[in-house]
Structure 1
């Protein structure tokens, strides 16, 4: 799952075995801090890219000196990469996964709308899928089949985040809905946000929800390949994502005025479904 999804799935911190939490925290700190560089504050784009390049340089230092990379040049970098370096070595984490995340964050600096779903899914390949791959490595479950299934789940989670955050992203001048789909349904998202929900908008969102749900379910067999807490956590994550899709449907796709989020009653439903669905 991409870093944004920790807001939706706080069960992770409860279900993760205590021994693995430092590793999860180190990965999260990397992703969260890099994402903040790309998105937060009023930094000039050139400075954002410079700071992200410093992250690439730090990863390169870990690759060249895996057992003792030493100082990374600043307190901010040390706080992220000293613990990360230890975790990368301990769990043999693939550096390419971290590089892929940086590619996504760099593309966020100069955001461009996605012409079609293929382009959007390619973005998810960098922004979301690496996190799932890293989690599988930490749990020593990174088989080829598991990675493929994890990619389905992570991409679905990223898309769910986009669909529930249409209004928030518009404030950042970002539209993650594929441009060809918008054109096909004759929709201008900026205008749509100030008007009543139209049949065209409903048709567009129904397509996105259906595709996303199908992708999530395509990854669901991953739970059968996992054991213990990780299997339970994955069932919770899948059901949590599906529940948010339901909540988008329940507000008749009006994500402009009612951002669908998970509340206590939803977690009871999610837990029951995770228990009863294989």
Structure 2
């Protein structure tokens, strides 16, 4: 077979994978025939952000209005990227879609955006001076999800979080005008903690998808096997392992809290809401005596309301610490 024929065959295979991949996703995720206007693109991102994830909608109440289009665009990019990797049910299709998405990211930075996400994102990138790296890093994580399902040590888990979680916090800081190493360091601690809290909450669910984020060396040290996880029995050994990992995640949350003192009051409220929510996940795990196998620990509706009210009080009452600091 000639090189031309091989190239044509590879192109045809890729097009088939892309078509099959798009078919398994919401129809509005596809590229429009003509690029939307900035107003249309921002409306698309806003709708996705406020209808797809309730926590984002709650948090958006506390964002300064001028920042909301940027947060909507960033969220839409993260949401669609994640779905391209997780929602097709086919590794080859996901990898093809993620490769295409990376090409579109490059096109966005070259001034050739076509998709609503990238049309909105291009304006956010321009205004907020956001480099390509954090967006590209997220795609590395989503591609890793298709290939890597086990982690030998916590160092490997943290390396994964460096791509999967930390870029999100950095994008938030960029959108709000912050780009210094110290704030990034504190944000990384919080974002990694949030990622770990979700991992420990979803051990059983992740195992059903053939993913184990618990470090293999820690599992061995505590006497926890994959067969034990598969059995769904939270043995004393498993509980001891989860207790250890929850404590580590809690320490990261605490390490990141000083960031709240280093950003403006309204962003601090938003960050506080997510940090406290993550810590509540860890408390929910603790309340179940670290049994995340027989039932997924979840934050109660009452706790969610309490967290929201805590943030509302900080926003509305002028005598609170945050408002006093902002004055």
Q: TM-score range by the shorter chain?
A: 0.7 to 0.9
Counterpart position of 2:219? 182
**Structure 1 pair 90–249 and aligned structure 2 pair: CA distance change class (3 A):** same
User: Does 1:22 find its partner at 2:69?
Assistant: yes
Q: Output one character per residue of 1:27-67: Cα deviation in whole Å (capped at 9) or x when no partner.
A: 11111111111111233x233212111111112122233xx
Residue 136 of structure 1 pairs with residue 173 of structure 2: yes
Distance in 2 separating the partners of 1:30 and 1:176: 24
Moved over 6 A (4+): none
1:118-143 Cα shifts (integer Å, max 9, x gaps) = 00000000000000000001111222
Q: CA deviation at 1:8?
A: 5.5
Q: 1:243 to 1:171 in 2, by over 3 A?
A: same
Q: Offset at 1:221?
A: 0.3
Instruction: Determine helix, strand or coil for the equivalent of 2:233.
Output: coil
Question: Quick check: 1:125–1:155 contact (8 Å CA) kept in 2?
Answer: yes
User: Tell me, what secondary structure is at the counterpart of 2:231?
Assistant: coil
CA distance in 1, matches of 2:260, 2:84: 34
Mapping 1:195-206, distance limit 5 Å: 195-206=232-243
Q: How many residues align?
A: 264
Structure-1 residue corresponding to 2:244: 207
Alignment partner for residue 42 of structure 1, among 89, 92, 99? 89
Q: CA 1:148 to 1:113, structure 2 compared with 1: closer, same or farther past 3 Å?
A: same
- The partner residue of 1:64 within 96, 103, 110 is 110
Structure 2 residues without counterparts, runs of 5 or longer? 1-48, 315-319, 323-327
Deviation at 1:268, TM superposition (A): 4.6
Which structure has more relative contact order (CA 8 Å, sep 6+)? It is 1
Between the aligned partners of 1:8 and 1:245, the Cα distance in structure 2 is 17
Q: How is 1:53-92 mapped onto 2 (pairs within 5 angstroms)?
A: 53-65=99-111, 69-70=112-113, 72=114, 78-92=115-129
SS in 1 for 2:268: helix
- Structure 1 pair 249/7, CA: closer, same or farther in 2 (3 Å)? farther
How many angstroms does 1:18 deviate by? Answer: 2.5
CA contact (8 A) 2:74 2:121 kept: yes
Contact 1:104 1:127 (8 Å CA) reproduced: yes
Instruction: Name whichever of 97-106 and 225-234 sits farther off.
Output: 225-234
Any conservation in 2 of the 1:94–1:134 contact (CA below 8 Å)? no
Change (3 A) 1:196 1:14: same
| RMSD, matched Cα | 2.2
Taking structure 1 as the reference length, the TM-score comes to: 0.88
**Bigger mean CA deviation after superposition, 268-277 or 46-55:** 268-277
Task: Point out the more displaced range, 191-200 or 239-248.
Answer: 191-200
- Report what 2:33 is aligned to: none
Do the aligned partners of 2:108 and 2:119 also contact (CA within 8 Å) in 1? no
Structure showing greater radius of gyration is: 2
Query: CA distance change for structure 1 residues 244 and 8 in 2, over 3 Å: closer, same or farther?
Result: farther
Instruction: State TM-score, norm by structure 2.
Output: 0.75
In the TM superposition, residue 233 of structure 1 has moved relative to its aligned partner by 1.4
The answer on whether the counterparts of 1:114 and 1:177 sit within 8 Å (CA) in structure 2 is: yes
* Equivalent of 1:125 in 149, 162, 168: 162
